[in-house]
Amino acid sequence: MPFVSLCYKINIQKKKEESYMKNYSIGIADGARTEFHQTLGLTGAEVSFNSLPAGVSVPFVHSHKENEEIYIITEGKGTLTIDGEVVKIKKGNVIKISPNGKRQFAAADDEGISYVCVQVKENSLTSYTENDAIIY
């Protein structure tokens, strides 16, 4: 999984500089689901890295009360069932689902799937990079 390796390499390279890590945090994905909100001290989003082996699906359907989710498929292929509609997904796809959308992930029978899930409160973004960035 390239995402896991990348995080691990960054962690090793920066380990000697931990006393200087004032403006950023590093998390390492190390399981079928790794949540980063506590590890990274996130205050405006919930981020997780998820992996399903071939032929396995998330064992439940879920939705949210207020949060939309953005899924970034980093490896493999599978299906995402959204409100009863089955959508084929693969590496490189990015999907946004509104809070009330009922969703369930499944890996393909012949290949696993890995994805990043970013969860944020719907309609909470008040400024974009072009208006919020400070260029030095």
Structural domains in the chain plus CATH codes = 31-123 (2.60.120.10)
pLDDT recorded at residue 5: 33
Which residues have a Cβ under 8 Å from the Cβ of 115 and sit 6 or more positions away? Answer: 49, 50, 71, 72, 73, 74, 105
The residues of the chain scoring below 50 in pLDDT are 1-21, 23-27
pLDDT recorded at residue 1: 36
pLDDT, tens digit, 9 for 90 and up, residues 45-74: 899 999 999 999 999 999 999 999 999 999
| Tokens describing residue 118 | 């970013």
The percent of the chain in helix, strand and coil, each rounded to the nearest 5, is: 15, 40, 45
What whole-number distance in Å separates Cα of residue 117 and Cα of residue 89?
Answer: 14
Whether 29 contacts 23, CB under 8 Å = no
Which pTM value belongs to this model?
Answer: 0.74
